[in-house]
Amino acid sequence: MADKIIYLDNNATTKVDEKVLEEMLPYFKEEYANPSSMYDFSKNSSRAIREARGKIKDLLNAANEKEIIFTSCGSESANTAIRGVLNYDKSKKHIITTKIEHPCVLNVYKMLEKQGYKVDYIGVNANGELNLDELSHAITDETALVSVMWANNETGVLNPIEEISQIIKSKNKETKFFVDAVQVAGKIPIDVQKAGIDMLGVSGHKFHAPKGIGALYINSKTMITPLIIGGHQERGKRAGTENTPYIVGIGKAAELAIDNLEYEMTEVKRLRDKLEKNILQNIYNARLNTGLANRVPNTTNIGFEYIEGELILLHLSDLGICASSGSACTSGSLEPSHVLRAMNVPFTSIHGSIRWSLSRFTTEDEIDYVIGELPKIIDEITSISPYQNELKALKEMRMVK
């Protein structure tokens, strides 16, 4: 294993901030009381949970902290919102979503289709931007729910959530709107009131809290049937003794996300842009898969034409550099991701697509190191590609430009 790690896979998960860990520790040790108990000993843990709820409320600009419930992850937040709202009111059977949602959303809709729901999957253009006309035309009186992710995890492309909410409400005021905001928390400002969102999910481990904690915003006008039934915790919307240390952790992470938002939108973006610009300038078979689409500040998805992404990742890994490819290993074959396929990324670059995702802990030295090493790696892999004629033609074309 390489002696240093350059972690550029922050859309997969992030490092826990030291300040988050510090804040959590007392709730494993001294403050272990069940927050729902009656005695004084539980007062500190119940207060800590109240404060954490307030911090998530601030991160999302919710009207009231009663609108926030804690879950175990982004997947649970999405499941609770989608299944919860449809189980509460079963009168309408039409749902609209997108082709590029995370599996924790898409697979719920696949299940609901089997239960008799009709689901429309809205497509995207070559840059990964949603077709809003298609979405608008799909809304009918029967539409119970629209669910659109705020930013895509593979490309970082942002969907115009406020505009989508206006389209929905202009067509059917009763339709509920769920937003998977897992990839935007801590990267861009979130304002659930301004954006007209009914339900929104986030996941702690994507913004420097530990894995195993998430949050869900449900506005006061939206009713759900809970997914987990039992005690009265989380105002009856999610049973189970509260995970005090992790709730404290996501609360602290939310506070730090607000404090670091400006840095994320300027400095993290500057480093992302530096990496992207250098790759595109210095590697002739590199292609920016999202074109000029509006993206979160930390992500770039670049295809390396006529070579395999997995091979690039293995070479990077030898140097301690962590990134992701656009493929998912399904049933032994390397299938390109559903997101890149929905964008019709050309076959020449879909298999060689790499997602680079930075965080506030990414340094300039790390980016410079990648910029220095990557061209050598790509050269080596390109030299053994079976597509030498195509690569030669591509090189001549790009050099002429």
- Known catalytic residues? 329
Longest dimension (CA), the chain: 76
Element (H, E) at 134: helix 132-138
Structure tokens at 15: 């490092």
Q: What would the x/- binding string for ligand PLP be over residues 24 to 63, using CB under 6 A? A: ----------------------------------------
- Within residues 119-178, the interface with ligand PLP by CB under 6 A covers 149, 153
By C-beta, is 75 or 233 nearer to ligand PLP? Answer: 75
Query: Among 6, 24, 56, 73, which residue sits at the site for ligand PLP (rule: CB under 6 A)?
Result: 73
Please report how the helices 103-114 and 74-88 are oriented relative to each other, as an axis angle in degrees rounded to 10: 30
The least CB distance from residue 73 to ligand PLP, in Å, is 3
- Mind giving me the DSSP string for 220-283? TT-----SS-SSSTGGGTS-S---HHHHHHHHHHHHHHHHHHHHIIIIIHHHHHHHHHHHHHH-
Structure tokens at 1: 């294993």
- Name every residue whose Cβ is closer than 8 Å to that of residue 396 and which is 6 or more positions away in sequence: none
Query: Among 10, 14, 45, 75, which residue sits at the site for ligand PLP (rule: CB under 6 A)?
Result: 75
279 scored as a contact of ligand PLP (CB under 6 A): no
290 scored as a contact of ligand PLP (CB under 6 A): no
234: left (phi over 0), alpha (psi -120 to 50) or beta: left
350 scored as a contact of ligand PLP (CB under 6 A): no
Please tell me the distance from the alpha carbon of residue 102 to that of residue 107, in angstroms, as a whole number: 9
The least CB distance from residue 11 to ligand PLP, in Å, is 6
Q: What would the x/- binding string for ligand PLP be over residues 175 to 214, using CB under 6 A? A: -----x-xx-------------------x-x--------x
The least CB distance from residue 116 to ligand PLP, in Å, is 25
- Name every residue whose Cβ is closer than 8 Å to that of residue 52 and which is 6 or more positions away in sequence: 70, 247, 248, 250, 251, 252, 254
71 scored as a contact of ligand PLP (CB under 6 A): no
The least CB distance from residue 23 to ligand PLP, in Å, is 20
Structure tokens at 209: 């809290």
By C-beta, is 159 or 362 nearer to ligand PLP? Answer: 159
Measured at CB, which residue is nearest to ligand PLP?
74
Please tell me the distance from the alpha carbon of residue 272 to that of residue 270, in angstroms, as a whole number: 5
Query: Among 52, 95, 104, 370, which residue sits at the site for ligand PLP (rule: CB under 6 A)?
Result: 104
Point out which residues bind ligand PLP (CB under 6 A). 73-75, 102, 104, 149, 153, 180, 182-183, 203, 205, 214
